[in-house]
A and B are shown apart, each in its own frame.
Chain A
Amino acid sequence: MNQKQNIQLPEGSLGKQTTTMNLGPTHPATHGVFQNILEMDGERIVSAVPTVGYIHRAFEKLAERKPYYQITTLTDRLNYCSSPINNMGWHMTVEKLIQAELPKRVEYLRVIIMELSRIADHLVCNSVIGVDTGAATGFFYVFEFRELIYEIFEEICGSRLTTNIGRIGGLERNFSELAFQKINHFMKTFPKAMEEFENLLTRNRIFVDRTVGAGPISAERALNYGFTGPNLRAAGIDYDIRVSHPYSSYQDFKFDIPVGHHGDTYDRFLVRNGEIWQSLSILQQALDKLKDHDPSVYHADLPDFYLPLKEDVYTKMEALIYHFKIVMGETELPVGEVYHSVEGGNGELGFYLISDGGRSPYRLHFRRPCFIYYQAYPEMIQGSMLSDAVVTMSSMNLIAGELDA
């Protein structure tokens, strides 16, 4: 490597009339490591240059070395506010490659997990918009319930943030009785807190003044920039992968897609709140549907990919062989290219997988929603105040882990 210095001052920065200001790099504990080099005319932003890649961890390269079942842990660390959705997305990609059919009950259990994590993701984002406008109260209200969701995950899979939930072909174990109790407790107590949270902010004069018109984007520009998820829907386009390309039996559920009109911070906030209510309705429907299915089913019959029970490994020859083959990555995989996407917490999370039949992918590309829509940020904040830039960023739901892969 040559020893060129890595500082890029904008053209003619010494003789200019505007001020250059570094917004960040911020501490990783805030929203992740972000840096924006702003050109300021007084308190107005003239232009912005975002820098990304501070926590790049080469997931796409690492995935070319790992067997399929080990890649789940990489997906955890993309959008870590809703890692179960990423995990499920990856499992479903491989299941699409091997053309596996899953029992309905497994798909409904996955829907429960995914909708819980969507609620957690939206809660973090929306309550942090509150914090960034100076209202920390809402944040404390709803974080109690995010904690309840994390306790449910803990009960289901044993971990909280980087969950590694599920396996190719199903879930690693069945939901326990306690898990259902915790879900029901959450379903009973959360709506009241959510109402309180909405009462606190939705018609709050200060909040409305700060967010209406901050960081707007038109539907046309949002589409051109590849926006997906709540950010695109806030601009008025009702594109939701759960509806347009249903996966995991989402076609069995009835729910609305909330859309906004102006694509500004306030609309994004309202769309996320609306989606939380829709997620709650999906959760209730899923819990009801589960009653019609055999409660002992939690994975598909896929001996080549799904690890056998440990006691079978010790007592049955076949189970031992399969166990060995799976752990050593000796399973035959079809050659092919497959793209699968799920509606993540902040947009369309896609997996473009090219398999050459080997034990690990030939190439795996993550379509990371916030990497794609963050490039619109300079356009969205141009001409606005510095304080608007801050709330715009928090309302876009940027997760540095996903941005940098």
Chain B
Amino acid sequence: MDLNDLVQQKLKDKFGELVSDFIMHYDILTFETPKENNLKVLTFLKEDAELQFDFLNDLTAVHYPNEAGRELAVVYMLQNIRNGQRIRLKVFTDIQKPDVFTAVNLFSTANWLEREAYDFFGVNFVGHPNLIRIMNVDEMDYFPLRKEYPVEDQTRIDKDDDMFGR
């Protein structure tokens, strides 16, 4: 059995409808779970004797302003350090109430990565021991990587956006 099929099968058996949207993005199996369920899935993947995804490779957030009710995505990338298999878990949340449970107790890696996601996207990681800004100044009162903040100075008139990018 293919390793990705095994992961998908075991997750389906354990969580049923709560894990969904399995898709292969190039070489990485990607799937979703409701945000209330993220820790259960992460714990299962980490502690299952066969799967052993004990390495949180990366954690980040993405902003999709047009998807009402699920504007912010938190993306976890887990890895089995023995065979190198990688999988990606996505959790979507409403931007008005961006509360997601923290994974710090499972993976120490998540500490600063969650602070970074909070700093740039405003994802509120519930239970995080020290959720303060990490890169930007503490006085900043907005979340700069959200799509409503354009890179360029909007008062410039010498650039025509129709021709130069989004």
Chain A interface (Cβ within 8 Å of chain B)?
1-4, 6, 52-53, 56, 58, 60-62, 64-65, 67, 96-97, 221, 223-226, 237, 239, 244-245, 328-329, 336-339, 348, 350, 352, 354, 358-360, 362-363, 365, 367, 371-372, 374-376, 404-405
Say which residue of A6, A61, A245 sits within 8 Å of B138 (CB atoms).
A6
Instruction: Give min CB distance, A61 to chain B, whole Å.
Output: 6
Q: Which residue of B lies closest to A245 (CB)?
A: B84
Confirm or deny: B56 has a beta carbon within 8 angstroms of a beta carbon on chain A: yes
Once the chains bind, are B139 and A61 in contact (CB under 8 Å)?
Answer: no
9 residue pairs of the A-B complex, CB under 8 angstroms, read A1-B140, A2-B141, A6-B137, A6-B139, A223-B55, A338-B26, A350-B57, A359-B165, A363-B62
Contact status B135-A404, CB under 8 Å? yes
- Residue of B112, B144, B145 with most partner-chain A CB within 10 A: B112
Which one of B26, B58, B139 contacts A1 once the chains associate, using CB atoms below 8 Å? B139
Check if A337 sits within 8 Å of B30, measured CB to CB.
yes
Across the interface, A56 reaches (CB within 8 A) one of B54, B63, B136, namely: B136
User: What secondary structure prevails in chain A residues at the interface with B?
Assistant: mixed
Q: Complex: how many Å from CA A365 to CA B121?
A: 13
Q: In the complex the two chains form, is A56's CB within 8 Å of B111's CB?
A: no
B4 proximal to A (CB < 8 A): no
Q: Which residues of B contact A223 (CB under 8 A)?
A: 54-55, 81
Q: Mark B146-165, 1 if CB is under 8 A from A, else 0.
A: 00010110000000000101
Do A62 and B60 touch across chains, with their CB atoms under 8 A apart?
A: no
Task: Judge whether B109 is part of the interface by a CB distance below 8 angstroms.
Answer: yes
- Knowing A352-B58, A375-B112, say if A224 contacts B135 (CB, 8 Å): no
* Minimum Cβ distance to chain A for residue B15 (Å): 22
Partner of A375, one of B62, B111, B136: B111
B77 on the interface (CB 8 Å rule)? Answer: yes
A5 to B141, CA, bound (A): 14
* A226 with B107: CB separation less than 8 A: yes
A372 touches B112 (CB 8 A): yes
